Structures are given as structure tokens and as C-alpha cells.
Amino acid sequence: MSGNPKAKQGVNTVWGGRFESAPDDLMTAINASIDFDCRLYAQDIAASKTHAEMLVAQGIIPAEDGAKIQDGLDRIENEIADGRFVFKSELEDIHMNIEARLGELIGAAAGRLHTARSRNDQVATDFRLWVRDALTRSESEMRELQAALIDRAEEHAATVMPGFTHLQSAQPVTFGHHLLAYVEMLGRDRGRLGDCLTRLNECPLGAAALAGTSFPIDRQASAAALGFDRPAANSIDAVSDRDFALEALSTAAIAATHLSRLAEELVIWSSAQFAFIRLSDGFSTGSSIMPQKRNPDAAELVRAKTGRITGALVALLMVMKGLALSYAKDMQEDKEPLFDAFDSLSLCLRASAGMIRDLQVDAKAMADAAGEGHATATELADWLVRELGMPFREAHHVVGRVVRRADELSCRLEELSLDELQAVEPRIAASARDVLDPLRAVESRASYGGTAPSQVRAQVARARERFL
């Protein structure tokens, strides 16, 4: 018996027939989910209306009661949307809050709604519907970010900048080419969302608690009415499966990681040391003490929220890892992390699109930096291979000595005289110096998917066809 005297006031009206006293206040606190699963109200009402319609069509409940249920659920949906609905923690969850209010509105007919279903298949259906909506929203927001990136890539198809490996100057590229890399990442993210939507789109409704039902229900009709492709094939799996939530979170975590990489580059590029870009006032903040500061806080927060989204995936994996079939109350912990993850992903996608559309590019700063770190060394090695027939590995060593000479003279490769180049390799001709120019180096990279402005413009056109 509970040590809390306040817990003896009344038995829960949902399942209280088996119990003599009410739960402890702490049990109510840990058991209730209404504070967060109230977000499922639209999905719960839609599924309940579909279920009631099917029960009437199958002759399981009277048409008169079915009509009352439909009317009552419409009234409840309006109450919730208008903020007039009172959610009660003693009723535990969104399902029982709606059912209790339905009883207040239409009387005994409300009790027929739960025929041939359980809260187990009810919540599994509601949750799938919510995740389906969230994935669809995310896909649209990813498309908008891709559109922003593609527009800016077209604008900067010929804007030369340094390309990096190991965050060290590697080879000149164009800013447009760099932005299109994120378009490809987001394309894969959208593909994963589509795959997840396909596997998710099976309807658990009618699986009941775990074993199905003895009533002559029409699960195909319920599935079709709710926009599912088919009913879930196994009633045990239908109520115990949360793969769809795990897959959605995995997809969100990968997408957030891509956004974090973009955010990191925006932070670096907007620093005074790089000064490649300037984020707009709309996506920057100031300092409470240093009046000169422009902090890239939007980008930093996108970067930080990736941990939150990935954490949600890990949290749900840990919830599910030790659960025997079928349903267990542990699975109530599936919603909060997923709600938070997709709220965060939506915010990050929209903020990223805003930053990309608004940022200003300093093309001169990018071009000046493009040749730093002897970034055109590979172009000279390629010239030795192409013009002198030199094996690439030998050319690599020759250019390594040229780089060392430039370091000794504290100059860039393109600043070396022909005499200095020929002191390392006498067969180097004056035309070799042309390839050391970053812009010419970029223009020469015209292989499919390369960084040449002609290729970038072609990639932009293909990206518009593929993604927009």
C-alpha cells in the first residue's frame, strides 16, 4: 500500500477495476505522458475517427453511435486547437484524455470507440502518423536549403577560393563547387528520409494489445483511410516496433552532422583571420563587453544542436535494446527525444538556409588565399607529366624540391622566376608558370564533377533538375 495518503482518493477510471486504491502521486508523475504526448492529438483524433468509421462499416457498433463519436471528436479537436481543452495528468495520456472528454460530450456511446483496439496499437499508429508528418516537413526544409545553396553556387561558379584537406591549403577550387558538395549531402539525406517513409508506412491499427482481435475488423480499410500503404503484417511486431522512430532519428542525426560541418565552415570563414564571408546581422549577435564583435551564434548553435539530435538517437536505442516482445512501458520514452530532435532539426535547417541566402562573399579575400600554401603545386606536377612525359611519382619529387625552394625564398610558387624553376628541373619551360596561377588551375579541372567554372555551372543545372 502507498505511503502517500493523498494517493488513496480514487481509483483510475481507465484501468481501476482491478485495483482497490489510487496510485501514489509519484507513480502518477512518472507514469503520465500527457505533458508531451498531447502533441499527438491531431493524429489520435484522425486515427480514432477512422477506427470508428470502420467499426460502423463492419457492423460492430451502431451507426448512430458512430455519428456521435465523429461529432464529439470534431468538437474535441476544435477545443484543443483553440486552447480550451483541459489536459489532466490523472488520465495519463492523450488517448485517455480524449476518450474521457468524449464521454462527457456524448455519453455512453464514447465507450464503444475502444472496441477492437488497445492503447498499444493506438499509440503506435499515432506515433507513425506524427513521424510521417515530421519526415515530410524535414524533406521540404532540406529542399529549401538545397535551393539556397544552388542559387549561391551558381552566383559563385567562378569565385576562386582555397580548397582544404586536413584544414590545410590543398588545391584551388571555386566557392560554387564547395557549396554544391553540401547539396549532394542533403540529397542523400532526402533519399534516406524517403526510404524511411516507405518502410514506416504500415498501419498498426487493429493489432490491438498484441494478438489482434476477434471482431471482424477491416484493417485494409483503416490503413488506406489513414494514408498507409498496408496494414502491419504481424500484430506483435505492430505494437512493439519502433524501428521507424530509430530510423527517423538516424536520418536526422546524419543530416544534423552535415549541417554541423557547414556551420563549422561558416564560423571559420567569417572569422577575421579568414574573412571570406560576412554573415548578415539577422544571423549574428554582438558582445556584452566587446563592441567590435560579430559572433556567428546561429552557426554555432546549429553545430551544437547536432549533439542533441544524435543524443536522441542514442537514448532511444538504449530504451529499445533490452525489451522483450511485445509492448513495455519503457516505450513511452520514445516520444520526447524524437519530438525534440525534429524540432531542433527543423530549426537548424531553416537557420542554415537563412544564413546561406544572406551571407556576403569577399571574393578578393578568397582569391588572395587560393594560392597560399603552394596550392598549385599539383598543377606543376601535372604539367611535368603532361609536357615532359615524366612519371607522376618522379614529378611529385621534383615539385617537392620546387616547393622547398619557394619556402627558402619566402614566396609563393607563382612568384618563382623561370630561372629558379629551371635550377630544380632544367626542362621546365616558361609555359609551366601559367599553370601556377590559381584561376587557371581551377579552369583546368574540367573533369566531370570537377571545380572548373564550366563544370560547376553544369552541376548547378543538373542539381536543379535532380533536387528542385
User: To which residue does cell 489482434 refer?
Assistant: 212
pLDDT of residue 7: 33
pLDDT of residue 32: 80
Q: Using DSSP, state whether 19 is helix, strand or coil.
A: coil
Describe the crossing of helices 392-409 and 377-388 by its angle, rounded to 10 degrees: 140
Q: Tell me the three cell numbers of residue 297.
A: 551564434
Q: 263-269: list long-range contacts, CB under 8 Å, 24+ apart.
A: 263/299, 263/300, 263/302, 263/303, 263/352, 264/299, 264/303, 266/296, 266/299, 266/355, 266/359, 267/296, 267/299, 267/300, 267/303
Q: Are 331 and 324 in contact (CB under 8 A)?
A: no
Q: Are 112 and 84 in contact (CB under 8 A)?
A: no
pLDDT by residue, tens only, the chain of 468 residues = 333 333 334 555 555 556 666 777 777 778 788 889 999 999 999 999 999 999 999 999 999 999 999 999 999 999 999 999 999 998 999 999 999 999 999 999 999 999 999 999 999 999 999 999 999 999 999 999 999 999 999 999 999 999 999 999 999 999 999 999 999 999 999 999 999 999 999 999 999 999 999 999 999 999 999 999 999 999 999 999 999 999 999 999 999 999 999 999 999 999 999 999 999 999 988 888 888 888 999 999 999 999 999 999 999 999 999 999 999 999 999 999 999 999 999 999 999 999 999 999 999 999 999 989 898 999 999 999 999 999 999 999 999 999 999 999 999 888 999 999 999 999 999 999 889 999 999 999 999 999 999 999 999 999 999 999
Does pTM surpass 0.85?
yes
**Active site (catalytic) residues:** 166, 287
What is the sign of the dihedral through the CA atoms of 97, 100, 106 and 108?
positive
Q: Are 187 and 467 in contact (CB under 8 A)?
A: yes
Q: Tell me the three cell numbers of residue 320.
A: 529499445
pLDDT of residue 292: 86
Q: Where are the alpha helices (DSSP H) in 107-241?
A: 119-155, 175-200, 219-225, 235-240
Q: State how far the Cα of 280 lies from the Cα of 69, in Å rounded to an integer.
A: 53
pLDDT of residue 18: 64
